Amino acid sequence: MDKLGKKQKGFIVVSKIVAVGTAVPPYVLSQSDAKTFAQQLFPISYPQTEKLMNIFDNTAIDKRYISCEVDWFRNEHTFTQRNQIYVETACKLAEDAVRSCLEQANINQKDIDHIFFVSTTGLATPSIDAYLINQLGMRKHIKRTPIWGLGCAGGVAGLSRAYEYTKAFPDSRVLFVAVELCSLTFRPQDLTKSNFVATSLFGDGAAAVLIAGDEVSLTGHAPSVIDSMSTIWPNSLDVMGWEVVEDGLKVIFSRDIPKIVQRQVKEVVDTFLDRCKLTIDQIDYMVSHPGGVKVLEAYESALKVSKGKFSFAYDILQKFGNMSSVTVLFVLQQVLQTEPTRGYGLMTALGPGFSSELLLLNWNKGG
């Protein structure tokens, strides 16, 4: 068998997504409470405060989950204090997500060959995957690849890197874990519009995905991963990201993100699907990162796809908010829970860079 996963002797080495596990912290924040919090914290004398408050009413979010009680966020905290909570909470949520994933797949933790770990909302050395290996009692020769800085694109990017590993090593079982604790980046003294937007959108969560190579025996009908593509647009570094400041991570959002989606995304998606010999009309499931309502609407307009195709993304946005890289994996989990037997799924996410990540899924047996 070709270890690089290329076509050989009439077949293509494929990888399967076996299971997805998710976890959220215990504190629930309703959108109405988030708005009240912002009204109390940000001075009304600040220019445009009342106008900006309308953002909270137009997010399509009902609630999200956060890592501390609301009162904790009213006070300033050092980067060290925030990061200590990040490490503790990330370890707990990641373990919960992994255990859920492995239980669904009926696979022992010692059978995992490689862990890919993605996060952008905190720092840890050793990285969180090292903590997981100890917490779960995984074998000591397991490989691990921590990836930092991908932001909202990290869910699809990390899954793509895990998929590529299973192409090279088709007898492997790979665990992809993403954890984002966006709430811990909130800085009460930051009166920028970007912070208002982040306060209206961001939540916390973790997800774990098990991916198996072509030589791993599986029961049941799991989607195949067909291909992936990464794109980075030049001269767009200031569109989205985090700026490292003295007391933590300062969020950066450009108001032009929906316009960029309108202008740039169709060409990228068409190029990718053409490479896979498909068109957007043949995609049954849009497994998209719901960065926000305006971004999803920009996707719909640019690709000429109905809102219904994004129903899973809207549902996750409503129930969990924007959890950065983790969110698209919650969307993937919801799609898998409908137990598709046929069709194609397109995973999409945008992130710092400014970048796009695409991944194609196939539920069609033998195709």
State the chain's mean pLDDT as an integer.
88
Nearest of 175, 160, 207 to residue 18 by alpha carbon: 175
What is the fold of 15-212? Peroxisomal Thiolase; Chain A, domain 1 (3.40.47)
**What is the CB neighbour count within 10 angstroms for residue 236?**
16
Whole-number Å distance between alpha carbons of 201 and 309: 22
**pLDDT tens digit string along 140-189?**
999 999 999 999 999 999 999 999 999 999 999 999 999 999 999 988 87
Residue 9, pLDDT above cutoff 50? no
Q: What residues contact residue 358 under an 8 Å CB cut-off, 6+ apart?
A: 156, 228, 229, 230, 231, 268, 269, 272, 346, 347, 348
pLDDT number for residue 46: 59
pLDDT band at 261 (very low <50, low <70, confident <90, very high): confident
pLDDT band at 3 (very low <50, low <70, confident <90, very high): very low
In the chain, where the domains are located: 15-212, 224-362
- Decide if 187 contacts 248 (C-beta within 8 A): yes
Q: Considering 68, 152, 182, 276, which one is annotated as catalytic?
A: 152
**What is the CB neighbour count within 10 angstroms for residue 83?**
20
Position with higher pLDDT, 262 vs 334: 334
Q: Is 152 a catalytic residue?
A: yes
- Decide if 168 contacts 134 (C-beta within 8 A): no
**pLDDT tens digit string along 26-42?**
999 999 999 888 888 77
Q: Rounded to the nearest 5°, which phi and psi values hold at 154?
A: -65, -30
**pLDDT tens digit string along 287-303?**
999 988 888 999 999 99
Distance of CA 168 to the CA centre of its chain: 24
Residue 322, pLDDT above cutoff 90? yes
Nearest of 242, 238, 296 to residue 79 by alpha carbon: 242
| Region at 287 (left for phi over 0; alpha for psi -120 to 50; beta for the rest) | beta
What is the fold of 224-362? Peroxisomal Thiolase; Chain A, domain 1 (3.40.47)
Report the pLDDT averaged over residues 247-256. 77
Please provide the distance, in angstroms rounded to a whole number, between the alpha carbons at the two ends of the chain. 19
Whole-number Å distance between alpha carbons of 330 and 159: 13
Is 15-212's fold the same as 224-362's? yes
DSSP string, 354-367: TEEEEEEEE-STT-
Neighbouring-strand partners of residue 286? 346
Whole-number Å distance between alpha carbons of 66 and 71: 12
Report the pLDDT averaged over residues 98-123. 95
pTM, rounded to two decimals = 0.91
H helix count then E strand count, the chain: 10, 13
Report the pLDDT averaged over residues 52-70. 90
